[in-house]
Amino acid sequence: MPVEWSGLSPELLLTLDREVAEPLRSQLERQLRAAIRSGRLGVGERLPSSRALAKELGLSRGLVQDCYTQLQSEGYLSADVGSATRVATRASAGSAGTGNLTRPQAWRDAAASGAGGRLNVDFASGVPDLGSFPRADWAWAIREACRVAPNSALNYGDPHGSPEVREVLAAYLRRVRAAAASPEQIVVCTGFAQGLNLVLRALGRSGVTLAAFEDPGYSVTVSNAAARAGIKAVPVRVDEFGVDVTALAATGARAVVLTPAHQWPTGVVLSPDRRLQLAEWAARCDGTIIEDDYDAEFRYDREPVGALQGLAAERVAAIGTVSKSLAPSLRLGWVVCPPGLADLVIEEKALHDRGSPVLDQLALATLMESGRFDRHLRRMRASYGRRRGVLVDALATHAPEVALTGLAAGFHAVAHLPRGIAEQSVINAAFDRAVGLYGMSEQRSDRSALPAQLVLGFGNLSERAIESGVATIADLLRG
């Protein structure tokens, strides 16, 4: 039977139905989004604690906490350290940021509840080709790891990570990313999000109170992770050469989160001069650079750019994962820690989950040592290169007024819309045609929609789907 509760405000009613297929967490997220978008929950309005809401609705506290965290990451809610969870400033009906959340999220909610809303073509960024995951190679690596692993490998693992995988990762990073990596510096984690949280918590314990992030960039992700570590996060602008180091120094921050090899989401490569300036800044203020090396393996018409960590190993915490190279669901990543931070990061990892799954770590090491990992990367680099070419050609044919940038690496591009075309209007109209588009405004700290730009992901789309999607919305892009 449905459970109803009206304790959030006199006018608000939440209904959870345990007799339908939709998960309870999905129901709760969907209804809270709807309450915020409609204005029934106003800007700054305080939500009940996760404990209180869980008790009233008969849910686990963890489920409610996960729901709040998800809505924070989407920009609906905000929560500072030591204060209540509240409706975010930009999440109210009619505010500047609402348009970025309304139509696309409605499609996702509808799809999750089984009420329709399937996209025919989705230009979501940050998603690799899930259909090209090397299933046979991974199954082989798992079997090999199980066959040769000693009984001791089935015990609780070292929170530091398996010695075998750390050896292999250090060699791989030295060879492919020009990193100054040793096994002792590497901490295995479950992906970028956990790696970022571990490093920020370690920095918070060492006295850092202010961290910066690229703008546009990971504004919500970094702000939330920093807040949980007791650190305030501030934006620093990105230009055609990468992060503005002078502006960074002016903030007084002692940590910064960067994507130097292929800036997310603009695609800019951090210039050599800026790399040197960053190293000097970090040495001068006893600062730490948190480097997300997220898709550097996939480069096309440029020379490889080494990891920033190789330039200033004593000042850079480099985070890498297999989320883009293999699949996000593997939840395997690593942090190459600067010497003064490694012990604190290992402590945080031990406190968080006692260590990542050992057999999966051994399977990754086996895959890398066998040469199958490199073979997969070469195959995917060629495949993404072809899709990039199709996107360029399709826009040149159907909407030549749209300029593309950020294409030197990775599997997303930035489309610059002609003057006079509103970013959100294009997004909404495209969703009405079952084509998923996403605006640059979602990645800016102030959610500004000027200049009007789209972030077009093509990693998880076939060449035919890319061509079809562009053709479907060509008139919208031309205005």
CA-CA distance, 62 to 78, in Å (whole number)? 18
Residue 304: pLDDT over 80: no
pTM score: 0.77
Q: How far apart are CA 387 and CA 189, in angstroms?
A: 31
Average pLDDT, stretch 244-266?
A: 97
Average pLDDT over residues 47-53: 86
The pLDDT value given to residue 126: 92
Last residue of a domain, one of 370, 389, 418: 370
User: Which tens digits make up the pLDDT trace of 130-188?
Assistant: 999 999 999 999 999 999 999 999 999 899 999 999 999 999 999 989 999 999 999 99
Residue 10 confidence (pLDDT) above 50: no
The domain in which residue 470 lies consists of: 121-131+375-478
Residues 194/216, Cβ–Cβ less than 8 Å:
no
pLDDT, mean of residues 360-384:
96
Looking at the structure, tell me whether residues 383 and 344 fall in a common domain.
no
**Does the pLDDT value for residue 13 go beyond 80?**
no
* Spatial CB neighbours of 259, under 8 Å, sequence gap ≥ 6: 214, 217, 291, 292, 293, 294
For residues 262 and 343, membership in a common domain is answered with yes
Reported confidence tier of residue 105, pLDDT bands at 50, 70, 90: low
Distance CA 14, CA 77 (A): 17
Rounded to the nearest 5°, which phi and psi values hold at 126?
Answer: 80, 5
Q: Supply the mean pLDDT for the chain.
A: 89
Helix pair angle (372-398, 358-370), 10° resolution? 80
Across the beta sheet with 288-292, the strand order is 186-189, 333-336, 316-321, 288-292, 255-258, 210-215, 232-239, 242-243
217 and 363 share a domain? yes
Q: DSSP secondary structure string, 400-420?
A: TT-EEE--SBSSEEEEEPPTT
Distance CA 66, CA 220 (A): 16
Q: Is residue 114 part of a domain?
A: no
CB 283 within 8 A of CB 315: yes
| pLDDT attached to residue 117 | 53
Q: Find the helix or strand (DSSP H, E) in which 234 lies.
A: strand 232-239
Same-domain status, 366 and 385: no
Final residue of a domain: which of 370, 396, 426? 370
Report the DSSP beta bridge partners of residue 456: 413
The residue behind tokens 């602008």 is 237
For position 58, which CATH number holds? 1.10.10.10
Q: What is the mean pLDDT of residues 352-370?
A: 95
Residues 306 and 193 in one domain: yes
Please tell me whether the peptide bond between 272 and the residue prior to it is cis, using omega within 30 degrees of 0: no
Give me the residue label for tokens 């090397």. Answer: 134
Looking at 342, 370, 398, which one is the last position of a domain? Answer: 370
Question: In terms of domains, do 172 and 258 share one?
Answer: yes
